[in-house]
Chains A and B, each alone.
Chain A
Amino acid sequence: MSVTPFIVLSAILFTIGCVGVLTRRNAIVVFMCVELMLNASNLALVTFSRANGNLDGQIAAFFVMVVAAAEVVVGLAIIMTIFRSRRSASVDDASLLKY
């Protein structure tokens, strides 16, 4: 059970998450891609935890999940308020803060 395939998978998922964040315009989908990136990193953490033989990796993954939860809660609340005031969930619409 060598480590490399897991890490490669994690890298691929992370990259897909990145490209998803860049290309998708619906705020919620962008958010999902962010979650995907977080999960990819969790996978790497768990894999390394097993490779190094101590549980710190898993605890780190656990904390990542906690933070992800907090982030999602606040993120979605923001998206809700933007949607309520702007009637659109597209990321490009909220672009007033510019030159």
Chain B
Amino acid sequence: MHVTAVQTDGVFSILWLVIALPALGALVLLAGGKRTDKWGHWLGVATVAASFVLSLILFFALLGKDEGERQYTQHLWNWFSAGSYSVNIDLLYDPLSAVFLLLITGVGALIHVYSVGYMEHDERRRRFFGYLNLFVASMLVLVLAADYVGVFLGWEGVGLASYLLIGFWQHKPSAAAAAKKAFVINRVGDIGLSLGASLIFVTFGSTSFAVVSAHADKASGATLTAIGLLLLLAACGKSAQFPLQTWLLDAMEGPTPVSALIHAATMVTAGVYLIVRSNFIFSLTEDARTGVIIVGTITLLMGAVIGCAKDDIKKALAGSTMSQIGYMVLAAGLGPAGYAFAIFHLLTHGFFKANMFLGAGSVMHGMDDDVNMRHYGALRKAMPITFATFGIGYLAILGVPPFAGFWSKDKIIETAFGDNFLVGMCALIGAGVTAFYMTRLMLLTFGTTKRWEKGVHPHESPKVMTYPLIALAVLSAGGGLLLAGDWIVDWLTPVVGEHEEHHLAVGAVGMSLIALAVVAAGVAVAWFLVGKRPVPKEAPSKVSVFTRAARADLYGDAFNDEVIIKPGVVGIRGLATVDRSVVDGLVEGLAVALTAISATFRRVQNGLVRSYALTLLGGAALVLLTLLAVNFG
């Protein structure tokens, strides 16, 4: 839909404060140095909480406005201009960004509170909170920017924050490598965004949403498809979708609050935001949308399969995140029908996935940072609150009726079936596999027998960690209310455009029943495979080829190493020798050649006066001959 925003006035003019607060917090914490250590973390929490309050105010103010003019823009300053192309730092506040604002600042605030407890005894806590604030600020820039280049600013800022936070414990080489890998793969995705922005400029003369949305229909189909695919490439990079998904599992090296905030709730959904925000492009090109659907489906299945085979609780959750985002991308790909449901699933996923990651964090906190689920077992008695909140999250992700997951995921499966049967089936199977690995995770961690290491005695996490857990559990339970009376769909129509409800052969209720049946089947399979049998302490080696593949993340990393990194290294080493021997060789060689030539000519100077006389006479004869030739020739 067209972005025809009106200048902010009254309460909306505080829009820039939402970003300024966390940015200021980050600046104070990072530049502050040792002095801010004592109260640094509380400042971090305060800034994010304050901007949450501001977003609430803005949300209710926007709610007050009627359907038509719910789009506000605030011009901050002209970033740069070159010839006819000028880029402003403008903020766009409309229903889509309002929802994102609430998610980011809300979940962000809860996670900040949680990490006060989690990072209790880490001497660099102040710097951790600085980076978290930096992340929240850049994420807010990303969702509020009114120009593709503004989005790019937020996009890379978020990439930097994730690099800093994944590699927070830099002394661990694996963390540093994971951080670098995340940043580089995000950069590969950013190629899509910068080329997309360039193509948009070439086609529309400007990259601001307003201009692009106004003229989107005039552009040729091929250009729109190209822009769509480039934006899809950017989304894949940031949201760890199929071709660029390998970094997400390694990103679990970072502290758990990071995984919860960045790699579950907010950053990884940036790709979905970009697709939904560029709906005015995607709804006009059929091919780009099919590309999105394909990528979403593939990632959906890959993530699920990987989730099943992982023993590390965080990697299992990361696999599930990847597949849930696959769902959202799939929904976004379904065109106007799916945008709203993608965002709805994004919100609910933000609640229950953050909840489960924090739950995993509190389990690790109890088991003194051991991530291997095979060393857990029967923790429900030891950590009741964590078990309860984790359970609610588990029921939500499964899609059990009253909980949030049921409402959002079913809608997506429904619309998927509406669009094309095969995609619908994949979504359904995905739901089943999700049920399997989540149940496996629950059983391994909380159910089955005690397999604790010696000297490990799990205990419940302190209040500062359990309160956010409880809050998130409530949200993931009540998230479904957003759909009450299709509120979310109407809320987003000014952004994503009108869509008429089309009816399936089997009807909505039937669809839900089928989905529930598939989920129940998944749970049952997990119960028999994992619940009944004793769980070996070490991962068994003789396993089916599927499990071995799943353990190696479906050879995603192996593929990258073989196809890109190994030949790259060999190529670069070859290039280095070429540079030294050929390019430099030519230059040095020239010098050597010159000295050699001069050495031969030196021999002419043999000291014998008669040979000099000879050359003299030879020369004279030559001169005479040429004179004769010239005069008489």
Instruction: Report A's interface with B, CB cutoff 8 A.
Output: 18, 21-23, 25, 91-92, 94-99
Contacts and interface: CB of A to CB of B under 8 A. Distances in A.
Given A18-B617, A22-B614, A22-B617, A96 B609 contact: no
A75 B607 CA distance: 18
A99 B603 contact: yes
Given A23-B610, A99-B602, 15 more contacts: A18-B617, A22-B617, A91-B608, A91-B609, A92-B609, A92-B610, A95-B606, A95-B607, A95-B608, A95-B609, A97-B607, A98-B605, A98-B608, A99-B605, A99-B606
Nearest to B603: A99
B209 to A, nearest CB: 79
B617 A92 contact: no
B422 interface: no
B613 A92 contact: no
Grouping DSSP codes into helix (H, G, I), strand (E, B) and loop, the B interface class, with mixed when no group exceeds half, is helix
Given A18-B617, A22-B617, A96 B610 contact: no
Contacts of B610: 21-23, 25, 91-92
Nearest to B621: A18
A99 B617 CA distance: 22
Contacts of B607: 95-99
A22 B612 CA distance: 9
B608 A92 contact: yes
Interface size class of B (residues with CB under 8 A): 10 to 19
A38 B305 CA distance: 108
Contacts of B605: 98-99
B488 to A, nearest CB: 94
Contacts of A98: 605-608
A60 B607 CA distance: 34
B507 to A, nearest CB: 104
B624 to A, nearest CB: 11
Contacts of A92: 608-610
A97 B612 CA distance: 12
B613 A22 contact: yes
8 contacts: A22-B613, A92-B608, A95-B606, A97-B607, A98-B605, A98-B606, A99-B602, A99-B605
A23 B608 CA distance: 12
Contacts of B603: 99
Contacts of B617: 18, 22
A99 to B, nearest CB: 4
A75 to B, nearest CB: 12
A37 B606 CA distance: 25
Interface string B589-605: 00000000000001101
A25 B613 CA distance: 12
A54 B602 CA distance: 49
B613 to A, nearest CB: 5
A23 B605 CA distance: 18
B609 A94 contact: yes
A21 B606 CA distance: 17
Interface in B555-608: 602-603, 605-608
List the 9 shortest-distance A-B pairs measured between CB atoms, nearest first: A98-B607, A95-B607, A99-B602, A99-B605, A95-B608, A98-B606, A22-B613, A91-B609, A97-B607
A18 B299 CA distance: 97
A95 B606 CA distance: 8
Nearest to A94: B609
Contacts of B606: 95, 98-99
A98 to B, nearest CB: 3
B621 to A, nearest CB: 10
B628 to A, nearest CB: 14
A91 B602 CA distance: 21
Nearest to A21: B613
A95 B608 CA distance: 5
A21 B607 CA distance: 16
Contacts of B613: 21-22
Contacts of A18: 617
A23 B613 CA distance: 10
Contacts of A91: 608-610
Contacts of B609: 91-92, 94-95
Contacts of B614: 22
A23 B609 CA distance: 11
Contacts of A21: 610, 613
A96 B603 CA distance: 13
Interface in B406-456: none
Nearest to B605: A99
Nearest to B602: A99
A99 B605 CA distance: 6
Contacts of A23: 610
A96 B446 CA distance: 100
